[in-house]
Chains A and B, each alone.
Chain A
Amino acid sequence: QKEVEQDPGPLSVPEGAIVSLNCTYSNSAFQYFMWYRQYSRKGPELLMYTYSSGNKEDGRFTAQVDKSSKYISLFIRDSQPSDSATYLCASDSGGGADGLTFGKGTHLIIQP
């Protein structure tokens, strides 16, 4: 079983809607949680980074981590067609430099 689970979608919503993207993880040692955005045929780009539980807001994006339920969320307000991309969640324990554990990614489509 992969340590980070993510629904691949596609998730299609109308422009202006609030988008909720979610991941679950199984490794209790994970402390660092990230969301990456990946446009088609491009490399992933870091969108949000959170340490431990709590919320973090950056413009239209809010990242939320609930360590008690091992649940990671990304909310996008006032979604735009330019938000159409694949969103990857990633986690790490921080105990070393042995890379991040990624979910498979959710393909998001914002309909104009």
Chain B
Amino acid sequence: NAGVTQTPKFRVLKTGQSMTLLCAQDMNHEYMYWYRQDPGMGLRLIHYSVGEGTTAKGEVPDGYNVSRLKKKQNFLLGLESAAPSQTSVYFCASGQTASTDTQYFGPGTRLTVL
């Protein structure tokens, strides 16, 4: 039981490049989330999903797109044209219930955009 895993762990991009971050969970959770964590800002929600094929915007969605795959344990975060403002640590989380009583986090992806 690996919990929540994220790929890759580190990445450096140039401005304008694109990339996809992958999150996978093996707990059969319905709800999955992408957060970014910046110094002095705390964790902020980018997008989330309440089940296979569903996604919704969070607090800071601009510049990102997401997809929840048919194999519902996977949740992708895409950056179509990376900007230096997207330099951050990205965390994926999953939860079992709609009441959001608990969320389990992955180890994070450290992204630098030059």
Contact = CB atoms under 8 A, between A and B. Distances in A.
B50 A97 contact: yes
A60 interface: no
Contacts of B95: 97
B10 to A, nearest CB: 10
Contact of B58 (A42, A45, A99): A99
Interface string B88-104: 00010001001111111
Q: How large is the interface on B (under 10, 10 to 19, 20 to 34, 35 or more residues)?
A: 20 to 34
B75 interface: no
Contact of B103 (A2, A6, A46, A96): A46
Contacts of A43: 4, 91, 105-108
Contacts of B107: 42-43
A94 B100 contact: yes
A100 B41 CA distance: 14
A6 B43 CA distance: 13
Interface in B32-90: 33, 35, 40-45, 48, 50, 56, 58-59
Contacts of B45: 98-100
B100 A102 contact: no
A27 to B, nearest CB: 14
Contacts of A32: 99-101
Contact of A45 (B31, B99, B105): B105
Given A43-B107, A44-B105, A46-B104, A102 B91 contact: no
23 contacts: A32-B99, A32-B100, A36-B105, A41-B108, A42-B107, A44-B91, A45-B105, A46-B103, A88-B42, A92-B99, A94-B100, A96-B100, A97-B31, A97-B48, A97-B50, A98-B56, A99-B33, A99-B100, A99-B103, A102-B42, A104-B40, A104-B41, A104-B42
